[in-house]
Amino acid sequence: MTMASARDFKRKSRLEETHVAAFRRRLSGSLVLPGDDDYHSARRVWNGMIDKRPAIIAYCANPADVVESIAFARETGLPMAVRAGGHNIAGKSLCDDGLVLDLSRMRSVTVDPEARTARAEGGALLADLDVASQAHGLATTTGVNSDTGLVGLTLGGGIGRLGRKHGLSCDNIVSAEVVAADGQILTASESDNADLFWALRGGGGNFGVVTEVVYRLHPLGPAVLAGSLIYRWRDARAALRLYAEFSVAAPDEISADAALVTLPGGDRAVSISAFYAGPLEEGERALQPLRSALTPLEDRIGAIPYVELQRAGDATFPHGDRFFWKAQFLRTIPDAAIDALMDIYPAAPSPRSLFVFQQVGGAIARMPAEQSAYANRDAAVDAFPVSIWTDPAQDEPNVAWASAAYEAMRPFGTSGVYVNNLGDEGEDRVRAAYGANYLRLAALKRKFDPTNLFRANQNVRPVD
Ligand SMILES: Cc1cc2nc3c(=O)[nH]c(=O)nc-3n(C[C@H](O)[C@H](O)[C@H](O)COP(=O)(O)OP(=O)(O)OC[C@H]3O[C@@H](n4cnc5c(N)ncnc54)[C@H](O)[C@@H]3O)c2cc1C
């Protein structure tokens, strides 16, 4: 027996065989345990930095399986984590020596084109919703990588190309079905369990396992105007200034992100990715300043099917590579921040690493901060260095670079952070994600999860 399989065996034997056998019988889905052939592939998540060893992985097939899995965690006292798309940067969807409740087999999405709503199961990916709704010329806000978990993204907020026009993903929830810590199946909406509905819209996985979300949809596409403009490094300062000015003045239809990148030949560059949620000709006019104010090295803006656009970034973030990032919100991008980036970015140890500005504002900012748990609505951009590499021996310099880049941007930050971009950064940073909403969230946590069963997340502790 190898050292690793001896460790796996020890873990498995901590669980009563009879308990596990009874759990397996009650489940329509299936279990994977240490020692099973597929255990090591089943414990992988998107970020290759994460190396956790759960005691048991339960692949749920339906809400009844979710109820059974929560009951099993309560009965055995095992720690529990909830996994859908597996994209959490800190690997919160896994736990050592505990139960992983996996939703990846619950991915169906059905669209009601008359009502302009979509009903998505708790394990759906962004692409599942984008594809199903675009079949009817509809869409709602999701994120920018199509293989991210839809509900995981939504529960933390959900920042994406349609956010400035239609609000965050969580602002587009009509209702949700939740299995609570006591095993009850609850509906949350403006009229049912309105306090839970408030908490779910930004409060992450703290309040239960969400088995279904009904989203509001909006007409879009199928073709949209979008793409990136690449500016030479010698124009990097000017390109970032252009981005700062253009994005702040942009109408809600425009969503523009900027990134410091390294091109395949090794040259550094600035990329501005822009999207227009409206007629193509209108978009051409609206995006013109990006083309005329500064001559780009490459102009990749054109008409593209929305579904294709939503997949276009996937290859930059392949499953299993190593990733580290640290994010903060900014209200403006001042010249001093741009100057700092001119020194910071070239110091990145990996040419695949990026510094990203993801635009928010617009409709997101017009919703009052107390209307849902998501708090940092006054930001203009989410700013974060992203380290991407493959060799574990290079972990230290890559983590150190992104941490230093974050620190260098701190003087310009709001002190707020997007909960879905948080790593293992401690309780103060979770509070920074919720600001004045934190106390209400903690009181609702006490009501819906008093024993903190759902704690493998950016945890809000229950208080009176
Ligand atoms: C490459 C990449 C691109 C991204 N782009 C964006 C973006 O454009 N916009 C954006 O807003 N975010 C983005 N994110 C962040 C993303 O929103 C979070 O990583 C989110 O947690 C992903 O959800 P998941 O289901 O894939 O993750 P998982 O790791 O499976 O789950 C993360 C946590 O979400 C909770 N959770 C997930 N599903 C459920 C459920 N059904 N019920 C209860 N709790 C649940 C659990 O607490 C779990 O620990 C991106 C992440 C990556 C890695």
- The pLDDT value given to residue 15: 73
| pLDDT, mean of residues 149-160 | 98
Q: What angle do CA 440, 377, 341 make, to 5 degrees?
A: 125
Tokens of 109: 């999405």
- Cα 187 to middle of ligand 1, angstroms: 21
Ligand 1 atom nearest residue 45's Cα? 29
Identify any residues that bridge with 111 across adjacent strands, giving them in sequence order: 118
Lowest mean pLDDT among 2-6, 18-22, 169-173: 2-6
Q: Looking at the predicted structure, is the pLDDT value of residue 261 above 80?
A: yes
Q: Whose alpha carbon is nearest atom 36 of ligand 1?
A: 152
Residue position matching structure tokens 């952070």:
417
Q: What angle do CA 240, 244, 246 make, to 5 degrees?
A: 110
- Cα 203 to middle of ligand 1, angstroms: 12
DSSP conformation class of 194: H
Q: What length is written for the chain?
A: 464
Q: Whose alpha carbon is nearest atom 17 of ligand 1?
A: 153
Contact present, 143 and 126 (Cβ < 8 Å)? yes
Question: How does the average pLDDT of the chain come out, rounded?
Answer: 96
**What is the best residue among 94, 126, 153 to mutate for testing ligand 1's pocket, by most ligand atoms within 8 Å of CB?**
153
- The pLDDT value given to residue 338: 98
Residue position matching structure tokens 């107390």:
370
**What is the best residue among 172, 210, 326, 420 to mutate for testing ligand 1's pocket, by most ligand atoms within 8 Å of CB?**
420
- Cα 84 to middle of ligand 1, angstroms: 8
> Please, which residues have CB within 8 angstroms of residue 171's CB and are 6 or more apart in sequence?
141, 201, 363, 364, 367, 372
Distance (Å, rounded) from C-alpha 429 to C-alpha 243? Answer: 28
Tokens of 389: 């590499």
pLDDT tens digits for range 195-247: 999 999 999 999 999 999 999 999 999 999 999 999 999 999 999 999 999 99
**What is the best residue among 103, 140, 148 to mutate for testing ligand 1's pocket, by most ligand atoms within 8 Å of CB?**
148
- The pLDDT value given to residue 9: 47
Q: Where are the alpha helices (DSSP H) in 322-362?
A: 335-344
pLDDT tens digits for range 78-124: 999 999 999 999 999 999 999 999 999 999 999 999 999 999 999 99
- Cα 204 to middle of ligand 1, angstroms: 9
Q: Looking at the predicted structure, is the pLDDT value of residue 65 above 60?
A: yes
Q: Looking at the predicted structure, is the pLDDT value of residue 6 above 90?
A: no
Distance (Å, rounded) from C-alpha 125 to C-alpha 121? Answer: 9
| Cα-only R_g, the chain | 22
Residue position matching structure tokens 């299936």:
30
Confidence of residue 1 (pLDDT cuts 50, 70, 90): very low
Confidence of residue 5 (pLDDT cuts 50, 70, 90): low
Ligand 1 atom nearest residue 92's Cα? 49
Ligand 1 atom nearest residue 47's Cα? 53
**What is the best residue among 88, 326, 356 to mutate for testing ligand 1's pocket, by most ligand atoms within 8 Å of CB?**
88
Which residue type does 445 have?
Answer: K
Identify any residues that bridge with 189 across adjacent strands, giving them in sequence order: 175
> Please, which residues have CB within 8 angstroms of residue 230's CB and are 6 or more apart in sequence?
261, 263, 269, 270, 271, 296, 297, 298, 300
- The pLDDT value given to residue 451: 96
Q: Where are the alpha helices (DSSP H) in 192-345?
A: 194-200, 236-249, 280-292, 306-311, 335-344
**What is the best residue among 80, 82, 109, 164 to mutate for testing ligand 1's pocket, by most ligand atoms within 8 Å of CB?**
82
Distance (Å, rounded) from C-alpha 294 to C-alpha 296? Answer: 6
pLDDT tens digits for range 22-59: 999 999 999 999 999 999 999 999 999 999 999 999 99
| pLDDT, mean of residues 277-301 | 96
β-pairing, 381-389 vs 218-219, is unpaired
Ligand 1 atom nearest residue 418's Cα? 11
> What is the CB < 6 Å shell around ligand 1?
46, 81-89, 92-93, 103, 122, 143-145, 148-149, 151-153, 155-160, 204-205, 209-210, 317, 420, 456-457
CA-closest candidate to residue 395, choices 49, 53, 50: 49
Confidence of residue 3 (pLDDT cuts 50, 70, 90): low
- The pLDDT value given to residue 18: 84
Distance (Å, rounded) from C-alpha 72 to C-alpha 366? Answer: 43
CA-closest candidate to residue 60, choices 18, 29, 99, 20: 29
Tokens of 446: 């006490």
Tokens of 395: 């972990």
Q: Looking at the predicted structure, is the pLDDT value of residue 284 above 80?
A: yes
